[in-house]
Amino acid sequence: MLDPQKLLIGPVRVAYGGQDMGLTTDDGVSYTPEYETQKFQGAQSPLVVHKHRSAISAMLSFTVAQMTQKNWHLLEDLAEEPAAGVLRGRYKVRPTEREIVLTGPGPDGGTRVMVATGSVSSLGEVKINNKEYQGLAVEIELLGDPETNELWVMTDSVTSGTVPNPASFATVTSGDVETSLADAATGINPALSIQANFPVAIRPDQVNERKFFLKTAAGNTRVAGTLSWGKTTGVVDYTKVKFTPTSALTAATAYDFIIVDGVLSQDGIPGAFAAIQFTTA
């Protein structure tokens, strides 16, 4: 089962009939499969019942964030393409089947692409005025292949780029002075903050107590504190995540600073589990 923390909800890019429709609104895309079934009673016994799917249909719904004449021509399935900036509402008798490609965020910071064949079932109301454009609601009925029983193909791929694994750790004073912190270090000032330095910027929604936390090595007691960005020459640095304890740590005590698996960079790339241990003075 996919971790809900690794699923991103947001705009999806739509291509229909080879034409780029642009991004959907923030709601993304909804997919609704519907099955019709029939029951067949066995010939030998009334207790034997077989259930078969007699019909399968599926709908894709989304809102197009912007509309050109070319896009309008395809979605309304008009008989003529726009010429010289003029679009004529001449309709076809039979709806056209076209390929639809949805490209959006996938699990673990990757990309998810869904490819299907379908035709526009309905279009929502379009208001043309001087107020903010709210987008055009589109509903497409998917048309499966009867020979393969295939309605769509979904492919997930991993985004390439720099992996956000910590390059180093440091202690930080209230004046943002950093001192390198090695694993198993001893004699650490209990009043300092602990910081992880990454080779790439981290996504802001990843900086929370589920992803970064400080605990005692013995007993696994979590330490109360706040998470924030570190600074470089006085400027906020999104490659540095700092934990500041609410009060000074206990003297002569071993602590673990933990970074859980899957922290995402701003490019959407997940990092691996990381940890460092130190003992206070």
Amino acid at 166: P
Amino acid at 46: P
User: CA-to-CA distance for 240 and 231, rounded, in angstroms?
Assistant: 7
14 inside domain: yes
Instruction: Please give the chain's pLDDT, 281 residues, in tens.
Output: 334 444 445 678 899 999 998 888 777 788 888 877 777 666 555 556 677 776 678 899 998 877 889 999 999 999 999 999 999 999 888 899 999 999 887 776 677 899 999 999 998 877 666 666 677 899 999 998 888 888 899 998 876 788 899 999 999 999 999 999 999 999 999 999 999 999 998 888 889 999 999 999 998 999 999 999 999 998 899 999 999 999 999 999 999 999 998 898 877 788 889 999 999 99
85, 126 Cβ separation under 8 angstroms = no
163 inside domain: no
Last residue of a domain, which of 105, 129, 157? 157
Q: Which domain holds residue 15?
A: 4-157
User: Do residues 29 and 83 share a domain?
Assistant: yes
Does the pTM surpass 0.85? The reply is no
User: Do residues 142 and 205 share a domain?
Assistant: no
User: Do residues 139 and 196 share a domain?
Assistant: no
User: Do residues 153 and 192 share a domain?
Assistant: no
User: Do residues 187 and 254 share a domain?
Assistant: yes
Considering only CA atoms, which of 57, 84, 53, 48 is closest in space to residue 69?
84
User: Do residues 266 and 205 share a domain?
Assistant: yes
162 inside domain: no
Give the total number of structural domains in the chain: 2
User: Do residues 232 and 99 share a domain?
Assistant: no
